[in-house]
Structure formats: structure tokens, C-alpha cells
Amino acid sequence: MDSVDLEVLKTCAAWLDADKPCELVTVVKTWGSSPRPEGSMLAIGEFGKVVGSVSGGCIEDDLISRLQQQGFKRLVPEVVEYGVSADEAHRFGLPCGGTIQLVIEPLHARSQIDQLLLRLGAHELIARTLDLRTGEVSLAKAEKNESPRFDKQMLRTIHGPRWRLLIIGAGQMSRFLATIAQGMDYHVTVCDPREEYYASWQLEGVCIDRNMPDDVVLSMQLDARSAVVALTHDPKLDDMALLEALKSPAFYVGAIGSRINNSKRRERLRLFDLSEEQIARLHGPIGLYIGSKTPPEIAISILAEMTAVRNQVPLSKEQQIVYGKSQKPSA
């Protein structure tokens, strides 16, 4: 599953390869509340075909309408604003006082969309710089914490997985978790030294590592944009990986299992050189309570919790799911 932005870029590349006119629309600045963050993209092609999103739908409708009436006339990128007045904010579905600024870029061979996709396929983090005066584009490696920048003459956007996810275990649930995580812009690595599991693993875009999980954790040099989820139920595989992950700056470390099993896991971890503060970082049982019972439902609940932690949304114990019991949390 591609992320939304990757789907937009692949669509642009397909239209260009077919010699079909198209434009790339990018959110470059917002004031007040906005449905989509800066850097969000929309591809718009002939007959008003669109992929991606820059708002809740109303701005897209206006862009389509203008294209159908005027056609593709831009030769260089143009800056467009919506929601400047209260009437426009209401018309385009923006909160009162909200404003969104877009760059609409006519695409051509010099836009380097194919080259960008090639480098993204190698899991590179790429900065794409657009000169609004000429439409010329350059590509360069980006920093992990770099954000989009716009100064009215140059637009620098960041492309590629901004987050990393290491999954311990190549079982059925791992497939659903990895697939959905890819759509959420994670670069996913699955680690499993068990031949009966890694031999049958096939999921495009996901790396499979046959080394021991704790060695993989160390080799990945986890940072604050990394997450680790242990799914094997095997202490020999999970515990040593968790031991190393809890020492790292990873924003999320979790392990599947019941409350009882996770309590036992924490007791085992106390036998090693971990502080109580480090052990407290372990999420387990993992996942937000959504009544999930099947592997895809559990995968969704895990990623929901990861997203909440990533966005620094406080979570209560009552929101967590108790796997294997299918019970609602007490009031």
C-alpha cells in the first residue's frame, strides 16, 4: 500500500508518461485551522481527474471547476490562496478565519517526478526544490527532521518515509500491520530468524531481516522517529529486542500479549540493566480498544495507539485493549 503522497507522485508520473497534461498542487502555508497540513499534495489531470487532497473537498471542487473552464494554461508555478475572507472560508469549508495557500505547478519532463520516484524506491529521504520563477526543479538528500519551506520564490518539499517501524515476527498479523503502516508513510522492516516464517514472507516494499531481533535493533540505530512492535509471543525473540529498543530514543516500543503475559515480561526485563523509567516506556498490551478480534482489526488498533503516541495525545489505561479476552474496559 502506497502512502497518499506516493500515490500522488506515481499518478503524476503515469500521466506524464502518457503525454497527458497535469498539475501538482501543494499546501505551502495555512493560517488558523486547516484540514490538511503543509506539504500535502494533490494531482489534477485532464477532465478534472484528481488524486490526493489539499482540503476537505470544497477547494478540490473549485480547482476542478476552474480547470474545466480554463484548461491547462499555466507555464510556471502560481501561488493561490483560499479562505481569505469569511465568505470564502464558509464557501470552501474552512473554519472561520482559516486560510490555505497553495502552489499550483504545471508538470513537464524537467519536473523530475520519475527521478524522485526512483530515489524514493531506494528508501531515500529527498528534498525537492522548485523555483517558482522558472519551474526548474532540483533534488537532494533531506535531513530526517527537515520540514517543507516556502519563501514565495522557492518551494522545498520533503519526500520519502519520515518514520521507521521494526516489526518482530513475520506472521499473519505482521502482514496487516506492515501493509497499513506503509500507507501511513512508514519505512517498514520485518525481522524473523525462523526459516518457516521468513521463507514465506512476501510483501512489496517491506524489508525482511533474518538476523536476531536484538542485533537488528542495534544495527538500525533507532531514533525518535522509530517504532518497534514485537509480535512473536516468544520471549527468546521478543525480550532481547525490547531490551535494546527500550534503551533507544524510539518514540514507541510495544509487545503483544495479555496483561498477565506483559506483567511477566516486565519482570523478566527487570533482570537486565533497565531502569524502571525505561521499562515503563513499554506499551503492552498494545492497541486502543476498538473491540478488535481479527488480525487486521488488531493491526488497526496498534497503529491507532502508535499514532496517538506520535502525536503526543495522552492515553488512559482504559483505552487499551486486553487481547484474548475481548472485554470492554471498565468505566
Q: Cα separations (Å) of 99 from 24, 30, 174?
A: 19, 6, 41
Instruction: For residue 280, give the C-alpha cell.
Output: 515503563
Preceding omega of 285 cis (within 30 degrees of 0): yes
In the predicted model, is pLDDT for residue 4 greater than 70?
yes
The better pLDDT of the pair 196, 129 is held by 129
Instruction: Give the number of C-alpha atoms closer than 13 A to the C-alpha of residue 100, restricted to the C-beta side.
Output: 31
pTM: 0.74
Confidence band, pLDDT 50/70/90 cuts, at residue 329: very low
Q: According to the model, what pLDDT value does residue 33 have?
A: 63
- Contact predicate 44/20, CB 8 Å: no
Instruction: Tell me the CATH class for 163-319.
Output: alpha beta
Confidence band, pLDDT 50/70/90 cuts, at residue 94: low
Q: How far apart are CA 164 and CA 217, in angstroms?
A: 12
Confidence band, pLDDT 50/70/90 cuts, at residue 200: confident
- Contact predicate 116/9, CB 8 Å: yes
Task: Indicate if the alpha-carbon torsion angle 46, 133, 126, 109 is positive or negative.
Answer: positive
Confidence band, pLDDT 50/70/90 cuts, at residue 328: very low
Q: According to the model, what pLDDT value does residue 191 have?
A: 95
SS3 181: helix
Q: Cα separations (Å) of 319 from 190, 304, 315?
A: 27, 11, 7
Q: According to the model, what pLDDT value does residue 166 have?
A: 97
Least confident of 60-69, 74-83, 218-227, 316-325: 316-325
Q: According to the model, what pLDDT value does residue 54 have?
A: 87
Calculate what percentage of the chain has a pLDDT beyond 70.
89
What's the full length of the chain, in residues? 331
Q: According to the model, what pLDDT value does residue 87 have?
A: 66
In the predicted model, is pLDDT for residue 319 greater than 60?
no
Q: According to the model, what pLDDT value does residue 2 have?
A: 63
In the predicted model, is pLDDT for residue 271 greater than 60?
yes
Which of the 8 DSSP states describes residue 212?
Answer: -
Q: Domain locations in the chain? A: 4-159, 163-319
Q: How far apart are CA 169 and CA 234, in angstroms?
A: 9
In the predicted model, is pLDDT for residue 8 greater than 80?
yes
Q: According to the model, what pLDDT value does residue 330 have?
A: 30
What's the mean pLDDT when you consider all of the chain?
Answer: 87
Write the pLDDT tens digit of every residue in 149-199: 999 899 999 998 778 999 999 999 999 999 999 988 899 999 999 988 888
Confidence band, pLDDT 50/70/90 cuts, at residue 146: confident
